[in-house]
Structures are given as C-alpha cells and as structure tokens.
Amino acid sequence: MGGAALNLPPHRKLGVESNMRSRLHHLGLIALGILIGVGVSLNYSAIADKDRAGPLPVEELRTFAEVFGKIKSDYVEPVEDKKLITSAINGMLSGLDPHSAYLDADAFKDLQVSTQGQFGGLGIEVGMEDGFVKVISPIEDTPAFQAGIKAGDLIIKLDDTPVKGMTLNDAVKRMRGKPGTRITLTIMRKGEPKPLVITLTRAVIQIKSVKWKLLEPGYGFVRITQFQDHTGEDLVKALDGLNKQNKEALKGLVLDLRNNPGGLLNGAVAVATAFLPKDVLVVYTDGRTQDAKMRLTASREFYLRPNQDDYMKNLPGWAKSVPMIVLVNGGSASASEIVAGALQDHRRAIVLGTQTFGKGSVQTILPLGNGTAIKLTTARYYTPGGNSIQAKGITPDIVVEEAVVSEADKQALGVREADLERHLANDKEPESKPAPIKLQAPKPEKGKEDKPEPGDIAPRTDYQLNQAVNLLKGIQILQRR
C-alpha cells in the first residue's frame, strides 16, 4: 500500500505528500476532561492569535460531552473510552480536507518506513470519497500497478468486508499485510457496468525512484516515479550515466513525471536544483503560522540532509542548459507539480502532456508524544511565479493527450484534486498565459493496439514521449540556424 508518504522534520513531504519544518504545537481542549467526565484531556493548538484570544466553544463541547455520555450509557454494547476518543479525533481531521488524518502508532511507523522507498503492501496512493477508498494513483512496478488498478477506482470491498464505514487508516491496515498473502479488492470503475473483482498478492514494495535510458544518440530520458530521500542523489547518478553512455553533451532530455504522486519536498527541490541556476526560487508556502511561511530555493540547505556531502558536484556540466521537456499528466501530483511549475515558471523546460492533479497543499506531520501523530494541512504552496496549484494543477505549454484505448481509461485519467470531497479552494487567480498548443493522440484501431515490452520504461508506442523527442529535435534544428 502506498499510503500518504510523509516524514518527520527535517525532511518534508508533500502529499501523497509534504512535511515542513515545524515546532510541535501542544493541542489542548482545556476543559474537555471536566466536561465529559472521563478524565481525558485532549490538546489542541490555537494557531491564530485571534483564535487564542477567543473563548472555548462551550456549547459545542457540552454537546460533545452529552453525546459521549449517551454512547457510554445507552449504546447496545460497552465501548472503551479510548475507542470513542480516537474516533472523535479521526472525525475531526477527516472532516477538514482529503489529506488531513490521524495516524495511530502503526500507521505512523509505516509512514516513516515508506519514505525510505521500501514497505509492504499493494502499492497504491489512496484517499476517501463518499465513504469508499479512492485510488489517487497506482505506484509503478507494484502489485496494484501490474494488476491494472487505475486512478479514480473506488474500492468498495476488501475481501468480504465492505469499506463503507471504515476510516482510511483501517482500510490501509487491511490492505497491508505479510508479503505473499492475498487480498481481493472489489472495485467500482467509471464506464464499467458492474464492479470489478481483482485479487492481488501483497509484496514488499521496493520503489526505484529514478530510472533512465538513452533513447537514441544525443537524447536522454529520465523517469522519476516518486520523490524519496535519495531521489536527488539518484538523479545525479542517472544524468552521469547518460553522460558516460552518450560520451558527449546531450542534445535534449525528457524528464518524465507522469503518474508521480509526489513525495518528499527536499527531493523535489533537489530535482529542480539539478536544472536551475543556483539559489533561484523553487517554491514557496504560505499558511497561518510563521512556520508555514517558507521560501525554498535551489540551495544545498533545502535538499541535503545534515552533514551530507553535496552530490550536486557530480552533476554533468550540460544539466543546467540542455533543452528539456517535462512530461506530466493527471497522475502528476504535489512534489511533481512543484518541479514542473518551477521549471516552467523559470522557462527552463517546456511542459508537455495533460493537466496535472492539482494538489497544492502542504501536510505537516505533528507527533503527539504517545507514538501517534496527526497529518495536518498547514499551508498552500505556490510556484515561483506566484501561482497556486491547489485544485487547478499545472497547465502544460503543449497539451498532448494520452493514447487511451477505452472510455473507462479516459475517465480515470480525468480524476483531479478538485474532484475530491472537501478539497481546499484555490486562493489565487492564475496569471494570464497564452493558451497551450493542443495535439490529439491518434486512436489505435480496435484489436491492433501496440503493447509495450514488459519493463521498457520508454516504449516506442508512447505517443507523448515521441512528441517530446520530436520537439527536442525541432529545437536543435532551430538552434543551428
């Protein structure tokens, strides 16, 4: 199971991914223990000064206490205080937006492990919608991806257990499990007349963050599947590998961020730094607290771990100037959008593909001191040009549709942040830009679709990639004139 991949400070992660540097605020509903009569004290943070000065919502707390008491005295079966309080916390956070959540001790540990690029499960980034688990994106090279799970799928049953009524954490726990064990997912998919039943075998998910290939002499391809702790370092190695294999400076490079659900923010800053001038702005964030207001630049302090040697010194000289195309689609989210937006705003690369997912919010992991944590949306992030990506996404310079082969695929590719319940609104009008050039992919004849070879990261049937390479060759011709 992919899950929301975040990390503790100093490593920040965006959505499916983002953790900012943050002081741990004590969260305390001061009088709650007295009101509910169970000696339980919940903490809360009065984040804004005006909120800190305001009175406690006594009437609402009294109602909470009354409901708590009625459940304790009248519910058909006895219920532990811990379960009721945990459910209340879950409800508080899940009612905010699709990305805030309570992490119990197991979920918190799993989340920390997942940032290292290896964890157990199925390999899908998920959220909740209408009480069902919604697939945000299958992670490449995982059981879910290989079984054909698609973005936009709604998981309605796990084995024989309906998902309706489960919390997201409960559903994630059920999907995780010992590698080699099986689980059956019942899925509702747009365009399909009846639910799909898919049986998957759990595996240790080992995600290779960076893949690369020399497409042909002079033209390189780098795919980033997810932003992890070592993505920046692995990118430099990939570029160095292309440099050695090509034996001269590249004429063009394709950076593929399609279906990349995001990841660590410092990984995204590292990738942008590899291609941008030193110290230019990569992304900035804005929220209600001072810690939520950050400006991250192409500087070592924002992508290196403490005492880590700067791997950027091994970057090939052409990396800062090679003509670039960035491929994106509806599965490109969060940290992917940061990179695409930074390269686009600085006019360092041409962005090609389809509108991105539109996750422009920052989640901070706040440990609670008892082995649990909350994942709380604390800020929005903005591209260097001041554009908010939230619920909008990155608009490509050149729109090239993917060569879909079915209506169901087309509908699944259309899932965006704006389609999720309780999503944050975009707080800025996007700056006026020229309308993108649009190219429609040809539809293959039914029964004659070319299938890529297994394991080929850059198949010749990839229409968007082919258009990117053609554009790079066109740029080369123009530069010679």
* DSSP string of 15-64, one letter each residue: ETT----------EETTHHHHHTS---EE----SHHHHHSPP-HHHHHHH
Name the pairing type of β-strands 118-121 and 203-206: antiparallel
Question: Which residue among 18, 22, 334, 336 is the active-site one?
Answer: 334
Evaluate whether 263 touches 227 at the Cβ level (below 8 Å).
Answer: yes
294 phi and psi, to 5 degrees? -135, 150
Rounded to a whole number of angstroms, the CA Rg of the chain reads 23
To the query of whether residue 159 is one of the catalytic residues in this protein, the response is no
Q: Which residues contact 273 (CB under 8 A, 6 or more apart)?
A: 232, 282, 298, 299, 302, 303, 312
Question: Which residue among 97, 256, 345, 462 is the active-site one?
Answer: 345
To the query of whether residue 334 is one of the catalytic residues in this protein, the response is yes
User: Looking up tokens 């223990």, which residue turns up?
Assistant: 33
Residue 102 exposure: Cα atoms within 13 Å on the Cβ side: 16
Distance, C-alpha 386 to centroid of its chain: 21
Name the pairing type of β-strands 28-29 and 42-43: antiparallel
Evaluate whether 390 touches 359 at the Cβ level (below 8 Å).
Answer: yes
Gap between the Cα atoms of 7 and 10, Å rounded: 8
Per DSSP, what are the bridge partners of residue 213? 221
Question: Which residue among 359, 361, 388, 462 is the active-site one?
Answer: 359
Gap between the Cα atoms of 388 and 74, Å rounded: 48
User: Looking up tokens 């590719």, which residue turns up?
Assistant: 413
350 phi and psi, to 5 degrees? -95, 130
Evaluate whether 175 touches 187 at the Cβ level (below 8 Å).
Answer: no
| Cα angle, residue 433 at apex, residues 151 and 323 outer, rounded to 5° | 75
DSSP 147: T
Tokens of 88: 């209340």
Residues catalogued as catalytic: 334, 345, 359
